[in-house]
Amino acid sequence: MIQQTVIKVGMADLNIAMDGAILKTTGLGSCVGLTLFDPIRKIAGMAHVMLPSSDIAREATINLAKYSDTAIPELLDRMLAQGARIERMKAKMAGGAQMFAMSGQSETMRIGPRNVESCTAMLHRFRIPILSQDTGGSVGRTIEFNSNNGILSIRSVQFGIKEI
C-alpha cells in the first residue's frame, strides 16, 4: 500500500502540495475551500477562505489566507514559485454554505454566498476557469485535494462522499 502525505490546511490557512500529496481541510461551513491545480506540473494549492474581503480586517497584521482577495494572490505566488503557470491553472471550490437561517437577512449575514461570489470574482480577474464547485446549501463539508490528478473529494454528513 502506498502511503500518501496529507497536508492539513487549517481555517484561514493555505498551502500547496506536489508529488501526489493530499491537501485536506475540515470545517467548511460558510468558509470556502478554494483549490487551484496546474495539471502539467501537478502542483496543487488550497486556501480555506473565511471572509470575502480584507477591507473589513481589524487586525494589525492581516492574515493573507483569511480573505479571498488576499488568499488567492498569495496561493498563486506560492504555486508560481514552484513552477506552476497561471495560464494552465484550473480551480474548484466547495463550501460557502448558509449555515444559519435568519429572517430578514442583511447582506452582512450572507457570509457563505459572499465568500463564493468573492472567490469567483478573483478567479475571473486572473482568468482562471472554475471547472466545478459544490457550494451553497446549509451543510458543512470536509475536502481533500489530490496533487497528482486534481480530484477534489468532498465529504458531508448529509450527502456522503463525492468527487469533482
- Cβ count within 10 A of residue 4: 14
pLDDT digits (tens, 9 = 90+) for 81-138: 999 999 999 999 999 998 766 555 555 568 999 999 999 999 999 999 999 999 999 9
Domains observed in the chain = 6-163 (3.30.1330.200)
The reply to whether 31 belongs to the active site is yes
pTM recorded for the entire structure: 0.92
pLDDT digits (tens, 9 = 90+) for 16-52: 999 999 999 999 999 999 999 999 999 999 999 999 9
CA pair distance 36, 157, nearest whole angstrom? 25
Catalytic residue among 14, 31, 44, 119: 31
The residue written with cell numbers 450572507 in the block is 110
pLDDT digits (tens, 9 = 90+) for 45-78: 999 999 999 988 787 788 999 999 999 999 999 9
Beta bridge partners of 132: 92
- Cβ count within 10 A of residue 54: 16
